[in-house]
Amino acid sequence: MYKLSACCSMTCGISFQPKMVLPSLRVQKQGNGHCTNVPRNVNLEKLQNNYLFPEISKRELNHLDKYPNARVISLGIGDTTEPIPQKISLSMANALRKAIAETFYKDVVIKDTEVFVSDGSQCDISRLQLLLGSKVTIAVQDPSFPAYIDSSVIIGQAGDYQDKTGKYQNIEYMLCGPENNFFPDLATTPRTDIIFFCSPNNPTGHAATRTQLKQLVRFARDNGSIIIFDSAYAAYITDDSPKSIFEIPGAKEVAIEISSFSKFAGFTGVRLGWTVVPEELLFSSGFPVINDFNRIVCTCFNGASNIAQAGGLACLSSEGFQAIHSVIDYYKENAKILVETFASLGLKVYGGVNAPYVWVHFPGSNSWSVFTEILEKTHIITVPGSGFGPAGAEYIRISAFGHRERIIEASRRLENLFSKREALFNFVE
Amino acid sequence: MYKLSACCSMTCGISFQPKMVLPSLRVQKQGNGHCTNVPRNVNLEKLQNNYLFPEISKRELNHLDKYPNARVISLGIGDTTEPIPQKISLSMANALRKAIAETFYKDVVIKDTEVFVSDGSQCDISRLQLLLGSKVTIAVQDPSFPAYIDSSVIIGQAGDYQDKTGKYQNIEYMLCGPENNFFPDLATTPRTDIIFFCSPNNPTGHAATRTQLKQLVRFARDNGSIIIFDSAYAAYITDDSPKSIFEIPGAKEVAIEISSFSKFAGFTGVRLGWTVVPEELLFSSGFPVINDFNRIVCTCFNGASNIAQAGGLACLSSEGFQAIHSVIDYYKENAKILVETFASLGLKVYGGVNAPYVWVHFPGSNSWSVFTEILEKTHIITVPGSGFGPAGAEYIRISAFGHRERIIEASRRLENLFSKREALFNFVE
């Protein structure tokens, strides 16, 4: 429900409204009145804390209570604020599948029947988990988008959460930091059935190079693994990093690709994405994965809203596509401003070139403390890196979505904060 | 993906277009090329056949191949064909939750925070299965909407499929036929954790009476069970049957309600629905179910399309609500025509009064044979009752959605077929 607040950005531009108050934050009653005899799903018991973004939202709300007149800027979640490019009209789902295949996968020859239109990649992550079931083993980048791990825990693939490490048992965390050019050391990575891999990465903003992705595909082939490749930010790639895993020879036999219109076309609240399952991808028995995914999609989903699909189709027309790329350029310019701001303050900054996210290092800090101080002193919402995994503990993710004047204003406030601060790196609790 | 074809009805009124060809029907390759070492999810292996509606679609396609010039009328799936009432504009998600609470649950006092806006009840059935996990036991009406059973199998609650009975092991099938006024004999029904209950029922069209629902709630309370009550067709109720399970005292402590704009407001392709999880509903430990459901929704879903939500809000304005009810009356008049047609032919007909579905009995027949003969001889798509469970084996479901002239034309064709036929009841393979 959280992202429903995205629709606010459709009506009022940037969101100054408080995010929705979640029932989970209000309901504390336990054990009063009639209890059913239905035991709670142990998988859900294992989940630690709230989902990251509602937790941010709660803190934003608390902040607004405390500072009712503050003009809060959110660089956290990244609601896209630019209007959806024009040319939206009704049309058919098959046309959208075809348009996606032709626009994004022409050179790598993906058939339209291998494209499944979804209501966003986050939803398809869960549907893929339903497809895979509880018995598979998974690996994730550390840091990474939290839905991979959380959905894995919900479906029952994970063991218990370990406070000491900040990790779930039975999940392989592949460290991706500046020390390894944000690409895991595959020589020391154990085999898993599934490898979630996001490029350009959320939160680090790093786009894996062609060489890196060749290694990844080789690794998956050698191990008989399936890569679930999240290319939601591919449109932001500036250099010659691959925009699709299917640019790598041999990938069709080992990879599924999930993607989205959300950040590509300013569709965050509109809910539209797609998943590519190549016919060549087979389970160990030789059974095609696409057959099972189609079954899941038919049973557990009923298609993206036709209105959203019509919008998606318009985005892929030549006129629409051009309009969208000017929106992407706008956000990339925002990212550049933010990168320069942090760099000028003497901080190490990553991302922002091939992605709308900027990943800022505060060595020795606790990311929630950095988050809190930035919020407290500048009224700017960021996202603490630890929400993306233990490797994000000293980082803050900054989103480049927003109106230009807000980005410039945020930069001014951040410069003001950090230039006044005695030391840059003493954010600890 | 199947229901994506519903968007066709937005542009061309009734659908004469072939439904989308599903990848599962095309891909037959097994064992060629690279196989991953990832085993197929055993839950999916258990699933029998295709999901019902794609199977219908395949047969429709085959039929169109065979009779390319036939003007096929679909009374099968029930794409709503009347235009969505006007007054569609953008607005906020919170307003929609409030409007749903006030429009449908004012008398029973459901809070807006207990309402979760979804992209349709079918999707929320799967999310509820994710919530419940593989360890719970379930009961379903027989016949019933197939997504309850299929999602149960996918999540791992079911045992193997038994060819002899047409049932999955570990699922309790509650017979609901004319012999028991379409309400299960609860005295002989074993306890399960979860009871899926749809009223007005899809496919039988029977709306449970207040007395029946009181018994159901009593049964759930006594057994510590949770009812998942599907009220997707509540707007079609003509008599004083309850439109919500929460009209029954004590239901909040034992029930979740799922519902939809699809058939209420002609939103089939727009994708909008809701689920009510009362704060009073507790797991055996006393933990509130709403907390876990909120977590699932946040992690595995990102909200319904904001455009669809704006449309939903417009439906609930006084003007919109009135417009919708005239559309419902239109479909109910269609249902009446269909009921009269079948009754005049000497067939036993159920439903059609409190629901947009008509349930026709062909004693001693095989429903797929009836389906095939009707299609072959009249070019009318229906749905064979056996797709809804073993108790539907001798029935056909007829949908009342469609333009009036098509319904009248279909009635004429059916009268023509059955009046010419030597015996009404010899549809066997």
**Domains of chain A, each with CATH number or no CATH:** 2-29+40-82+321-420 (3.90.1150.10), 93-315 (3.40.640.10)
Whether A19 shows a pLDDT value over 80: the answer reads no
Q: Extract long-range pairs of A214-217: CB within 8 Å, 24+ residues apart.
A: A214/A248, A215/A183, A215/A186, A216/A186, A216/A248, A217/A245, A217/A248, A217/A249, A217/A250, A217/A251, A217/A254, A217/A255
**Count of other CB atoms within 10 angstroms of residue A26:** 14
Maximum pairwise Cα distance, chain A: 63
Interchain contact, B27 vs A253, CB within 8 Å: no
Residues 6 or more apart from A371 whose CB is under 8 A from it?
A59, A382, A383, A384, A396
Tokens 């006129």 belong to residue: A319
CA distance B427 to chain A (A): 29
Helices B404-420 and B318-344 pack at an angle, to 10 degrees, of: 10
**CA-based nearest distance B288→chain A, Å:** 7
Task: Please judge whether B303 and A2 are an interchain contact, meaning their C-beta atoms are less than 8 angstroms apart.
Answer: yes
Bigger pLDDT: A98 vs B37: A98
On chain A, the residues whose CB falls within 8 A of the CB of B32 are 286
Are A264 and A274 in contact by the 8 Å Cβ rule? The answer is no
Decide: A93 and B20 in contact? Cβ < 8 Å. yes
Q: How far is CA B284 from each of CA A34, B225, B289, rounded to the nearest angstrom? A: 9, 10, 10
Residue B276, class by beta-carbon neighbours within 10 Å (0-12 exposed, 13-18 middle, 19+ buried)?
Answer: buried
- Provide the pLDDT for residue A55: 66
Question: Quick one: DSSP state of residue A163?
Answer: T
10 Å Cβ neighbour count for A302? 27
At position A235, the amino acid (one-letter code) is A
From A263's Cα to the closest Cα of chain B, the distance in A is 14
Cα–Cα distance measured from residue A93 to residue A296, given in angstroms and rounded to the nearest whole number: 18
Chain A residues with CB-CB distance to B294 below 8 A: 1, 22-24
Closest C-alpha among A196, A195, A193, A197 to residue A284: A193
- In percent, the amount of chain A with pLDDT more than 90 equals 51
- Please judge whether A282 and B33 are an interchain contact, meaning their C-beta atoms are less than 8 angstroms apart: yes
Radius of gyration of chain B (CA): 21
Q: Would you say B145 and B202 are in contact if contact means Cβ atoms under 8 Å apart?
A: yes
**Residue B171 and residue B157: Cα distance in Å, rounded?**
8
The whole-angstrom separation of Cα A195 and Cα A223 is 11
| CA gap B408, B113 in Å, rounded | 44
Both structure tokens of B24: 């599962």
Identify the DSSP state of A284.
T
On the question of pLDDT at A175 being above 60, the answer is yes
Q: Are strands B357-361 and B395-399 parallel, antiparallel or unpaired?
A: antiparallel
The residue among A17, A38, A77, A295 with the most chain B CBs within 10 A of its CB, best to mutate, is A38
Q: Residue A50: its pLDDT value, please? A: 54
Q: How far apart are CA B266 and CA B315, in angstroms?
A: 10
Distance of alpha carbon B327 from the chain centroid:
19
Residue B222, exposed/middle/buried by CB under 10 A (0-12, 13-18, 19+)? Answer: exposed
- How much is the pLDDT for A90? 32
Q: Are A306 and B4 in contact (CB under 8 A)?
A: yes
Bin A71: left if φ > 0, else alpha if -120 < ψ < 50, else beta.
beta
Closest CA to B125 of B322, B336, B275, B19: B275
pLDDT digits (tens, 9 = 90+) for A256-298: 999 998 877 777 677 899 999 999 999 888 889 998 898 888 8
Q: Touching check for B117 and chain A: CB below 8 Å?
A: yes
Residues of B in Cβ contact (< 8 Å) with A29: 279, 288
Amino acid at B365: S
**Rounded distance, CA B85 to CA B350, Å?**
29
Q: CB A294 to CB B93 under 8 A?
A: no
SS (H, E, C) chain B: CHHHHHHHHHHHCCCCCCCCCCHHHHCCCCCCCCCCCCCCCHHHHHCCCCCHHHHHHHHHHHHHHHCCCCCCEECCCCCCCCCCCCCCCCCCHHHHHHHHHHHHHCCCCCCHHHEEEECCHHHHHHHHHHHHCCCCCEEEEECCCCHHHHHHHHHCCCCCEECCCCEECCEEEEECCHHHCCCCCHHHCCCCCEEEEECCCCCCCCCCCHHHHHHHHHHHHHHCCEEEEECCCHHHCCCCCCCCHHHCCCHHHCEEEEEECCCCCCCCCCCCEEEECCCCCECCCCCEHHHHHHHHHHHHCCCCCHHHHHHHHHHCCHHHHHHHHHHHHHHHHHHHHHHHHHHHCCCEEEECCCCCEEEEECCCCCHHHHHHHHHHHHCEECEEHHHHCHHHCCEEEEECCCCHHHHHHHHHHHHHHHHHCCCCCCCCC
- The residue type of B295 is R
Q: How far is CA A44 from the centre of its chain?
A: 21
**At B276, phi and psi to the nearest 5?**
-105, 120
Residue B184 is which amino acid? Answer: P
A280/B221 CB distance under 8 A: no
Written as six digits, the tokens of A42 are 């142990």
Test the A interface: residue of B38, B53, B123 with most A CBs within 10 Å: B38
Provide the pLDDT confidence category of residue A169 given band limits of 50, 70 and 90. very high
Percent share of chain A, pLDDT over 70: 80
Contact B23 A301 (CB under 8 A): no
Question: How many CA atoms within 13 Å lie on the side-chain side of B353?
Answer: 10
- A chain contacts of residue B300, beta-carbon cutoff 8 Å: 122-123, 125-126, 147, 151, 154
Is A116 an interface residue toward B (CB < 8 Å)? yes
Tokens found for residue B209: 């009476």
> Shortest Cα distance from A307 to chain B (angstroms)?
6
A195 in B contact zone (CB under 8 Å): no
pLDDT greater than 50 at residue A69: yes
| Nearest-5° Cα angle at A137, A136 to A140 | 130
Contact B41 A306 (CB under 8 A): no
Distance CA(B418)–CA(B388), nearest Å, equals 24
* The two three-digit tokens of residue B11, written as one number: 């542009």
Q: CA–CA separation, B49 vs B386, rounded Å?
A: 13
Question: Chain B residue with minimal CA distance to A284?
Answer: B37
The pLDDT of residue B324? 84
Strand pairing of A395-399 and A357-361?
antiparallel
Tokens at B238, concatenated: 């003509």
* B92, B132, B220: residue with CB nearest A41: B132
Is residue A314 within 8 A of residue A324, CB to CB? The reply is no
From the list B44, B119, B309, the residue facing A292 with the nearest CB is B44
Please state the separation of Cα B195 from the chain's center in Å: 15
- Cβ–Cβ gap A296/B154 under 8 Å: yes
**How high is the pLDDT of residue A248?**
97
Collect all residues of chain B within an 8 Å Cβ-Cβ radius of residue A58.
none
Q: Do A282 and B36 touch (CB under 8 A)?
A: yes
d(CA A370, CA A373) in angstroms, rounded, equals 5
Decide if A271 and B31 are in contact by the 8 Å CB cutoff. no
Q: Do B133 and A44 touch (CB under 8 A)?
A: yes
The nearest CA of chain A is from the CA of B270 a distance in Å of 4
A190-A196-A198 Cα angle (round to 5): 125
Task: Count helices and strands (H / E) in chain A.
Answer: 13, 15
* 8 Å CB contact of B37 and A270: no
Which pLDDT tens digits describe chain B residue by residue (429 residues)? Answer: 222 222 222 222 222 223 333 333 333 444 457 767 777 666 666 555 555 655 666 677 777 788 888 776 655 544 444 333 322 323 457 888 999 999 999 999 999 999 999 998 889 999 999 999 999 999 999 999 989 998 999 899 999 889 899 999 999 999 999 999 999 999 999 999 999 999 999 999 999 999 999 999 999 999 999 999 999 999 999 999 999 999 999 999 999 999 998 877 777 677 899 999 999 999 888 889 998 898 888 888 878 887 788 888 888 888 888 888 888 999 999 999 999 999 999 999 999 999 999 999 999 999 989 988 998 888 888 889 998 999 999 999 998 988 888 899 999 999 999 887 766 666 654
CB contact under 8 A, B23 and A254: no
Touching check for A12 and chain B: CB below 8 Å?
Answer: no
Pairing between β-strand B194-198 and β-strand B138-142 as defined by DSSP bridges: parallel
Q: Per the CB < 8 Å rule, is A37 touching B131?
A: no
B-proximal residues of A, 210-239, CB under 8 Å:
220-221, 223-226
Put simply, the chain B residues between 120 and 139 with a CB less than 8 A from any chain A CB are 120, 122-123, 125-126, 130-136
Asked if B36 lies within 8 A of A290 by C-beta distance, the reply is no
Q: How far apart are CA A352 and CA A68, in angstroms?
A: 32
| Residues 6 or more apart whose Cβ sits within 8 Å of residue A302 | B2, B3, B119, B120, B122, B123, B271
Percent of residues in chain A assigned helix, strand, coil, to nearest 5: 45, 15, 45
User: Any CB–CB contact under 8 A between A95 and chain B?
Assistant: no
CA–CA separation, A425 vs A369, rounded Å? 11
Taking the C-alpha atoms of residue A24 and residue B293, their distance in angstroms, rounded to an integer, is 9
Among B29, B93, B271, beta carbon nearest to A302: B271
30-49 of B, contacting A, C-beta below 8 A? 30-44, 47
Q: Is the dihedral of CA A108, A113, A117, A120 positive or negative?
A: negative
Distance CA A57, CA A21 (A): 8
